[in-house]
Amino acid sequence: MEGDGVTSFPRGRMRLESRRPPSDGQAANVVLWCPVDLPADVRIEWDFLPIREPGLAIMFFHARGRNGVDLFDPGLARRAGPYEQYHHGDIDAYHVSYFRRMWASERALHTCNLRKSHGFHLVAQGPDPLPGVLDADGPYAMRIDVRGGEVTFSVNDLVSFRWADDGAVGGPALAGGKIGFRQMAPLIGEYGNLRISRH
């Protein structure tokens, strides 16, 4: 866990939340990594259910240290939750942000974003069909497919966006690495049924 977060399993799913108040800003946000490296062409599936909002959820994937080193290489700068450490630190990754309900502008028009880092490049955007906590009747089936540099993100089999990385933005397409769950406080989310398969 990076940041002051905690996990629990009150309903048979992993519940992730910050121990710190949102008034602590970026220092209140958390990232939980899966320690296994995944292949370049992969399907990543998980279930998501929002429990408390506002906030924002992110899935990092194909995450490595800069120059291809392992994400947990001791030579990399320490990470503790602040967003800048992930998009302008010493790691490379794609990340999908969904359930973007932190700010009024995000709540006014619900979108999912795909960014490529190092560099915070917004490369794709699509609609977010997830309802707010009050109307949530999930969990909801989230899916990322990566095949030959093309990234597709779906919620309950509804495609939000599809984008092919031709290397024109942020350098060559990223190929393999770790996944990580990120949340902005005060969001509480539940996650289950993480499934990884090779394309």
Residue 108, domain CATH: 2.60.120.200
Say if CB 81 and CB 173 are below 8 A apart: no
Say if CB 64 and CB 178 are below 8 A apart: yes
pLDDT of residue 62: 99
pLDDT of residue 152: 99
**Mean pLDDT per 10-residue segment, the chain (199 residues):** 98 98 97 98 99 98 96 97 96 98 94 97 98 97 98 99 98 98 98 97
Single out the residue of 63, 51, 56 nearest to residue 15, CA to CA: 51
Single out the residue of 194, 180, 178 nearest to residue 65, CA to CA: 178
pLDDT of residue 166: 98
State which residues form the domain around 182. Answer: 5-198
Burial of 34 (0-12, 13-18, 19+ CB in 10 A): middle
Say if CB 29 and CB 168 are below 8 A apart: no
Domain count, the chain: 1
Measure the CA–CA gap between 71 and 18, rounded to whole angstroms: 22
pLDDT of residue 16: 99
pLDDT of residue 181: 99
Q: What DSSP character marks residue 110?
A: -
pLDDT of residue 75: 96
Bridge partners of 180, per DSSP, are 33, 60
Pairing mode of beta strands 150-155, 30-33? unpaired
pLDDT of residue 54: 98
